[in-house]
Amino acid sequence: MITEQMRQEIDEILARYPAGRERSGILPALYVIQREHGYCPVEEQDELAEILGIAPAEVGAVVGFYNMLHEEPKGEYHIEVCTNVPCMLRGGNRCLHNFETTLGIHHGERTEDGQFALDHMECLGSCGTAPMAIVTDQKSGEIRYFENLKSAADVEKAVDVLKSGNGFRSLERWTPEADPDNKGAADGPYLTDGMEPRYLMDRLNEPDSHKIATYEAYGGYAAARRTLEEIEPADMVDQIKESGIRGRGGAGFPTGVKWGFLPPETRPRYMVVNADESEPGTFKDRIIMEYDPHQLIEGIILSCHAIESEKAFIYIRGEYYFAYTRLEEALAEATAKGYLGENIFGSGKNLDIVLHRGAGAYECGEETAQLTSLEGYRGEPRLKPPFPAVEGLYAKPTIVNNVESICNVTHVMRHGVDWYKAYGTERSPGMRIFCLSGNVKRPGLYELPHATPLSELVNRYGGGPEDESHPIKAIVPGGLSMKLLTPDQFDTPLDYESVAEAGSLLGSAGVIAIDDRTSMVEVARRTLSFYREESCGKCTPCREGTAWLEKILLRIEEGQGLGRDLELMEYIADNIAGKSFCPFGEASVWGLQSNLIKFRGEFATQSESTNPDEIGPVLPIRPDYRPNTHEESGLRDSTFAPVGGNIVLHDDLVPGDD
């Protein structure tokens, strides 16, 4: 039963969205229900459907799509350990194993007292502080990051903090080293460094960096105030075009050019800030929102001025709860000051920003899928054209920009176009936050101009290989989707053109270093596990192909690889890339394709050494035709197996073995 109080809260949520578009509030409304029960019971899904005026199946379909919405109870504390590649490289699997040992349960299970539930999770945007886990407090719905869980002792300490009830004293990230007394104390911003002077990350280490006072003391909001008074929207669009800002989300499309696609007449126009940072190896937007949210808000005010929009949405990934609270606070501060709302800065302009939490779906980072999700549906991509700039949110012209892109707008308007173009190259101007993770000594965020050589980032800033005796053998330059670079390419300048020339893409600037301790078969398999899990399921090649590739890679890992597997995988990958509905298809296989070319020997060796006689897998006999209609057929959801130890977890998919 949705109680009166819940109903009131849900109504308030729905009121944030334009009239007639209440369905947009479905995710936050489901969070309200989930907080009450720890999951979303069907009965209340149906009640919510009634409130939203949609069919119950539409709510059920949404709940099933999003990872963070549960259909069965989790635990008082739901622990999710990242095991994606950047964490895997730094012991994510071991960390999960440590949690299993400490709690005495397998992942996918709940402790008997119902206090803890444990799951493995895809990239949580904490690659610089791996290994790590997030913990959800069911009672409040709050989420906290527990990072640097390097050892079993660290994990035990984290569990102790939770057991003692101190786990949620703060929502700011927790690390074992910052909490000597097990009181749940907060750690500050993680490693942020780079060239001086810095712009995007300049204020992060100041005390109260997230407060409006700090930001204004630094000169914040002056650019917005001046621009709204002095610069015509069209002129500002020209300036942004002139500056050459390129999208920081991954595709690198010039921001000003995108703005220029808006049809001149149609109103309203919407701005959607893509804060659904989910590309494995990318964790830059998180820190901006956590520690310098006003920089983003000023960027939104400026961008909305340029595109003449009065309503903006920040679509923030659901796991970024702390960033969400910081943004909420910052929006309230800015509104109180009259920088948001009606007649902002006395300019006669209005701007309302709605903060919208996603619920765990990588695909929602794709702009059309994000809009679909924001409208209250499953996050499936839409046909392009029409492009969002022409027909986007609620079928109105919409600009979707990444958080870092919008922050760059702030700095262009503050310092001027020429200043901006002084950094980087002609076609890749400006500073860039590089997210360095994997097997380096100092993983973290580095603000550097475009075209900084890869080796400089890795060796000078990142301190070189994590373990000097294990050189780096491969680097992903732009988030997990991108093709691998090898040591001979380490002098590639990190700008869009040079990385493309080197055969990969700069993407989201998530740079993942892989040293020679790691099996490239495992990298490939873990990558495909991610894409299999995160494929939205809409189109055939991506939905079926990623799972097929994963099954083959799992079989190779398990020691049943066959010589012909490599060609088969290439065939599958070729028929996913470019054939799928959205760019996810390419993204899912680029890494594998380059891996198969550059590290073919590793795959061959793995198969040859474990299965020299090329014995095929024992084909499971298909279950008999099952006349019992209502029998569950046992869909299994996890293909994760930890390294180290011979633990075979009960729900692992082991080919040929039931």
For residue 596, the minimal CB distance to other proteins (Å) is 17
For helices 584-598 and 520-534, angle between their N-to-C axes, nearest 10 degrees: 170
For residue 352, the minimal CB distance to other proteins (Å) is 27
| Cβ contact 605:521 at 8 Å | no
For residue 299, the minimal CB distance to other proteins (Å) is 32
Of 352, 354, 377, 355, nearest to 364 (Cα)? 377
| Cβ contact 649:106 at 8 Å | yes
Both tokens assigned to 568? 């088969």
For residue 603, the minimal CB distance to other proteins (Å) is 17
Question: Helix or strand or coil: residue 245?
Answer: coil
Closer to other proteins by CB, 242 or 570: give it: 570
Closer to other proteins by CB, 465 or 545: give it: 545
Contacts of 221 (CB under 8 A, 6+ apart): 215, 294, 298, 301, 339
- Identify the helix (H) or strand (E) that includes residue 527: helix 520-534
- Which residues lie near other proteins (CB under 8 A)? 42, 45-46, 54-61, 64-65, 67, 361, 378, 383, 532-541, 543-548, 551-552, 555, 568, 571-572, 574-575, 578-581, 616-617, 619-620, 622-623, 625-626, 629-630, 632-635, 637, 653, 655-656
Counting other chains too, the contacts that 416-419 makes at CB distance below 8 Å and 24 or more residues apart are: 417/239, 417/242, 417/243
Closer to other proteins by CB, 64 or 346: give it: 64
For residue 629, the minimal CB distance to other proteins (Å) is 5
For residue 375, the minimal CB distance to other proteins (Å) is 14
Closer to other proteins by CB, 100 or 558: give it: 558
| Cβ contact 309:342 at 8 Å | no
Closer to other proteins by CB, 336 or 571: give it: 571
For residue 657, the minimal CB distance to other proteins (Å) is 10
For residue 630, the minimal CB distance to other proteins (Å) is 6
For residue 254, the minimal CB distance to other proteins (Å) is 17
Closer to other proteins by CB, 66 or 77: give it: 66
Of 296, 327, 292, 307, nearest to 409 (Cα)? 296
For residue 625, the minimal CB distance to other proteins (Å) is 6
Inter-CA distances, 545 with 366, 370, 511, 554, 575, Å: 19, 23, 26, 14, 8
For residue 576, the minimal CB distance to other proteins (Å) is 8
Closer to other proteins by CB, 45 or 370: give it: 45
For residue 82, the minimal CB distance to other proteins (Å) is 18
Closer to other proteins by CB, 39 or 218: give it: 39
Closer to other proteins by CB, 197 or 626: give it: 626
Closer to other proteins by CB, 518 or 588: give it: 588
Closer to other proteins by CB, 42 or 336: give it: 42
Other beta carbons within 10 angstroms of residue 121's beta carbon come to 24
| Cβ contact 456:224 at 8 Å | no
For residue 55, the minimal CB distance to other proteins (Å) is 5
Dist. CA 548–CA 546, nearest whole Å: 5
Dist. CA 341–CA 335, nearest whole Å: 6
Of 315, 288, 317, 312, nearest to 302 (Cα)? 312
Contacts of 547 (CB under 8 A, 6+ apart): 532
Question: Helix or strand or coil: residue 492?
Answer: coil
Question: Helix or strand or coil: residue 542?
Answer: helix
Closer to other proteins by CB, 471 or 616: give it: 616
What DSSP letter does each residue of 181-212 carry, written as one string? TSS-PPP----EEESSS-STTTTTTSTTTTSH
For residue 533, the minimal CB distance to other proteins (Å) is 6
Closer to other proteins by CB, 44 or 290: give it: 44
Inter-CA distances, 1 with 6, 40, 139, 333, 471, Å: 9, 11, 17, 35, 58
Instruction: Please report, to the nearest 10 degrees, the dihedral formed by the alpha carbons of residues 382, 69, 296, 531 taken in order.
Output: -50
For residue 645, the minimal CB distance to other proteins (Å) is 25
| Cβ contact 544:585 at 8 Å | no
For residue 45, the minimal CB distance to other proteins (Å) is 7
Closer to other proteins by CB, 108 or 655: give it: 655
Dist. CA 541–CA 586, nearest whole Å: 11
Q: State how beta strands 341-344 and 349-357 pair.
A: antiparallel
Closer to other proteins by CB, 120 or 157: give it: 120
Sign of dihedral through CA atoms 464, 469, 473, 474? Answer: negative
Question: Helix or strand or coil: residue 632?
Answer: coil
| Cβ contact 313:353 at 8 Å | yes
**Residue whose tokens read 């109680």:** 3
For residue 632, the minimal CB distance to other proteins (Å) is 7
Of 43, 32, 42, 39, nearest to 7 (Cα)? 32
Closer to other proteins by CB, 148 or 593: give it: 593
Closer to other proteins by CB, 85 or 472: give it: 85
Question: Helix or strand or coil: residue 637?
Answer: coil
Contacts of 247 (CB under 8 A, 6+ apart): 253, 254, 255, 258, 401, 402, 405
